[in-house]
Chains A and B, each alone.
Chain A
Amino acid sequence: MNWVARLGAIALEQFRSWGHATFFFMEMLRAVPASLRRFDLVVAQVHAIGNRSLVIILASGLAVGFVLALQMYYALVIYGAAENLGLIVNLSLVRELGPVVAALLFAGRAGTSLTAEIGLMKAGEQLAAMELMAIDPKARVLAPRLIGGIISMPILAVLFSAVGILGAWVVAVMLIGVDAGNFWSIMQTGVDVWRDVGNGVVKAAVFGVICTVVALYQGHETEATPEGVAYATTRTVVISSLWVLGMDFILTALMFSRP
Chain B
Amino acid sequence: MTSETFIEIDHVTFGYDASRPILSDLSLKFQRGKVTAILGGSGCGKTTLMRLVAGVYPTDKGRVIFDGDVVDTRDQAQLYRLRRRLGMLFQFGALFTDLSVFENVAFPLREHTTLPEAMIRDIVLMKLNAVGLRGAASLRIGEVSGGMARRVALARAIALDPELIIYDEPFAGLDLISMGVAAKLIRTLNDVTGATSLVISHDVPQCMAISDHVVLLATQGRIVAQGTPAELMASSDPETRQFVHGEPDGPVKFHYPAPEIGVDFGVT
Residues of A bordering B, CB below 8 Å: 120, 124-126, 128-129, 131-136, 140
Chain B contact residues, CB within 8 Å of chain A: 54, 56, 76, 79-81, 83-84, 86, 88, 90, 92, 94-97, 107-108, 111-112
When distances are taken between beta carbons in the complex, the residues of chain B under 8 Å from A125 are 90, 92, 94
Q: Which 10 A/B pairs are nearest by Cβ-Cβ distance? A: A129-B94, A125-B94, A134-B80, A134-B83, A134-B84, A132-B88, A133-B108, A135-B111, A125-B90, A132-B54
Cβ of B92 and Cβ of A133 under 8 Å apart? no
A-B contact count (CB 8 A): 43
Q: Which residues of A contact B90 (CB under 8 A)?
A: 125, 128-129
A125 to B96, CA, bound (A): 9
Q: Which residue of A lies closest to B80 (CB)?
A: A134
**What residues of B have a CB within 8 angstroms of the CB of A140 in the complex?**
111
Docked complex Cα distance between A134 and B111 (Å): 9
Using CB atoms, name the residue of chain B closest to A120.
Answer: B97
Query: A135: nearest residue on chain B (CB-CB)?
Result: B111
Partner of B97, one of A124, A132, A133: A124
Question: Judging by beta carbons under 8 Å apart, are B86 and A132 in contact?
Answer: yes
Task: Report chain B residues within 8 Å CB of A135.
Answer: 108, 111-112
Known: A134-B80, A135-B111, A140-B111. A129 touches B88 (CB 8 A): yes
For B79, what are the chain A residues with a Cβ–Cβ distance below 8 Å? Answer: 134
In the complex, what distance in Å separates the CA atom of A140 from the CA atom of B108? 12
Q: Which residues of A contact B92 (CB under 8 A)?
A: 124-125
**Could you give 28 example pairs across A and B, Cβ below 8 Å?**
A120-B97, A124-B95, A124-B97, A125-B90, A126-B96, A128-B56, A128-B90, A128-B94, A129-B88, A129-B94, A129-B96, A131-B56, A132-B54, A132-B56, A132-B83, A132-B86, A133-B83, A133-B111, A134-B79, A134-B80, A134-B81, A134-B84, A134-B112, A135-B108, A135-B111, A135-B112, A136-B80, A140-B111
The complex places the Cα of A140 from the Cα of B107 at a distance, in Å, of: 11
Pick the residue among B94, B108, B111 that contacts A126 (CB under 8 A): B94
Closest to B88 in A: A132
Closest to A133 in B: B108
Residues of B with C-beta under 8 A to A120: 97
20 additional contacts, CB 8 Å, given A132-B83, A135-B112?
A: A120-B97, A124-B92, A126-B95, A126-B96, A126-B97, A128-B90, A129-B88, A129-B94, A129-B96, A131-B56, A132-B54, A132-B56, A133-B83, A133-B111, A134-B83, A134-B84, A134-B112, A135-B111, A136-B80, A140-B111
Complex Cα–Cα for A132 and B84 (A): 8
Taking A132-B54, A132-B56, A135-B111 as contacts, is the C-beta distance between A124 and B94 under 8 angstroms? yes
User: How far is the CB of A104 from the nearest CB of chain B, in Å?
Assistant: 27
Chain B residue with minimal CB distance to A127?
Answer: B94
Which residue of chain B is the closest to A140 with respect to CB atoms?
Answer: B111
Q: Which residue of A lies closest to B159 (CB)?
A: A133
Residues in B whose Cβ lies below 8 Å from that of A131 = 56, 83
* Residues on A with beta carbons closer than 8 Å to the beta carbon of B83: 131-134
Contacts of B84 in A (CB 8 A): 134
Q: Which residues of B contact A129 (CB under 8 A)?
A: 88, 90, 94, 96
Q: How far is the CA of A135 from the CA of B110 in the complex (A)?
A: 11
Q: Which residue of A lies closest to B76 (CB)?
A: A136
